[in-house]
Structure 1
């Protein structure tokens, strides 16, 4: 699964483009838009240029071009029209498809040009919620179905993290305007999915708070060490896969025991919070189902 794919099945094309395999076959037969390779058993296979072409065609089709018209364009004209669309303000409605194209081709320039076009109309917060989050969810599904490789996922995730860091750095140069709490953000031991936590750091900074970002796989002993440096702390713990279902309640109970005499608060967020026993929660130990829900409490 970690090898970068260069040959795709028609199911892969369906997963990546959102166009049903049945429709792709019809487009091939009626309009000759793709010329698949064939195995000895007559199974369709597609190379990367074919995937690129289909993603381009999908973008044009979603933009109002009829497939009959697209099929009459010279092959070199299709990416030219796509680039024209990408440079227009209407790119926002097609950004996810374009970002997927950038991912499949490891094309940083296309990622940056698409992002810049979005930023001309939207705030970074809007881009994150309206484009990046749906993109991340879709990429997760593509990875689980073996449509893309881990290399693709790492490539696009790094570029998104890069944008979060750039925007976060701008806020970190400003003095905090609120002093009722310091927010310390971390992932529990063995948890490495930090993209959501990175964005939360950005959000909390926008509200004027001081944040300390500890990052991934932080043991409880380290949390106790840093708590000695500040008076009023709100810890933000992002649980995507760790602690697992069997351990998450023990983890919360351990925190309550270690910080029993502390006035500090713990906010839990992520997929695993739905498994926390409500009896363990209270004013100082709260769980949130989403980033938006958490920010409402800032």
Structure 2
């Protein structure tokens, strides 16, 4: 049994290569399309990946590392600077980040156990079992944790594997299941809560489920959230708000903000009688460029988004 070393801690440990499914750097490069030089740079300069090492110093990557490489590549292709990706991944993939360095973390271990049950149900296309697991997770964790730390990471993992045979069917199965459950929760809350906020996403800036989950995070307390269909024309948002009279309009985006975004948002804000807020990964990335404007940033984490929305509506949080 070969001896491997955690790069960050320098602690050696014996492990079966077959059990751990570890891959050399040349194989990771083949699987992801990212060349070895870039992989090493992401590790050395930014600490985005932390592979194991053999006694002779050769890097070995787990399946979790490979999924992380694919996530990094996706953000790079969307125009996000590599230096900013670590902060995004720490929020969107908390269960994956350095999971093999801290194996004794009981919380992450419990997340992983539930994720394996979800994956097993999805793999068997077993909607009855998936419904059971879904309900059981809610008995252990609050809603933000259920979606942000357990379900959505599995959804993203399957999304990245659509190129594999059967991968698209598995992702569609889970995506359809989760969308229907989130919509049910949103409708239930909207019927009971009088204060209304509207949320929408520019075309191509997120998947429908990501928008729905963001709406669910925001629909806490006395706030009801209405979700506009993806494809809603940006230039007609002012008309929608004029007629619907919401308390706030939330734009949700997981894309890197383009240079003209602050100007477009400011122009939209001037045409609205309600607050204009930005949420999702773009919110964190655009926060500095929007400082001093009337556009508020909600962030991309469930509890933070909900708290900031309440503060903006109460007038206790300024932009």
State the structure with more CA Rg.
Answer: 1
Checking the alignment, whether the CA contact within 8 Å between 2:262 and 2:289 is kept in structure 1 is: no
- Extract unaligned runs of 5+ from structure 1: 1-18, 26-89
Summarize the alignment of residues 1-298 of structure 1 with structure 2, pairs less than 5 Å apart.
Answer: 22-23=18-19, 94-143=113-162, 146=164, 149-176=167-194, 179=195, 182-231=196-245, 233-241=247-255, 245=257, 248-260=258-270, 262-276=272-286, 278-282=288-292, 284-287=294-297, 288-297=299-308, 298=310
Calculate the TM-score normalised by the size of structure 2.
0.55
Checking the alignment, whether the CA contact within 8 Å between 2:114 and 2:150 is kept in structure 1 is: yes
CA–CA distance in 2 between the matches of 1:254 and 1:191? 15
Q: 1:254 to 1:283 in 2, by over 3 A?
A: closer
For residues 101-145 of structure 1, the C-alpha deviation after alignment (integer angstroms, 9 at most, x for no partner) is 12222221221121233334444444223421332343344447x
SS in structure 2 of the partner of residue 240 of structure 1: coil
SS in structure 2 of the partner of residue 280 of structure 1: coil
Checking the alignment, whether the CA contact within 8 Å between 1:103 and 1:156 is kept in structure 2 is: yes
What is the alpha-carbon root mean square deviation over aligned residues? 3.1
- Extract unaligned runs of 5+ from structure 2: 1-14, 22-108, 311-319
CA–CA distance in 2 between the matches of 1:201 and 1:172? 11
CA–CA distance in 1 between the matches of 2:269 and 2:206? 24
Checking the alignment, whether the CA contact within 8 Å between 2:269 and 2:275 is kept in structure 1 is: no
User: Which fold has the larger relative contact order, with Cα–Cα distance below 8 Å and residues 6 or more apart in sequence?
Assistant: 1
Instruction: Quote how far apart the aligned CAs of 1:252 are.
Output: 3.5
CA–CA distance in 2 between the matches of 1:20 and 1:235? 53
CA–CA distance in 2 between the matches of 1:171 and 1:262? 25
Calculate the TM-score normalised by the size of structure 1.
0.59
SS in structure 2 of the partner of residue 228 of structure 1: helix
Instruction: Quote how far apart the aligned CAs of 1:275 are.
Output: 4.2
Instruction: Quote how far apart the aligned CAs of 1:250 are.
Output: 1.7
Instruction: Quote how far apart the aligned CAs of 1:164 are.
Output: 1.1
Decide which moves more: 155-164 or 208-217.
208-217
Q: 1:281 to 1:217 in 2, by over 3 A?
A: farther
CA–CA distance in 2 between the matches of 1:134 and 1:20? 26
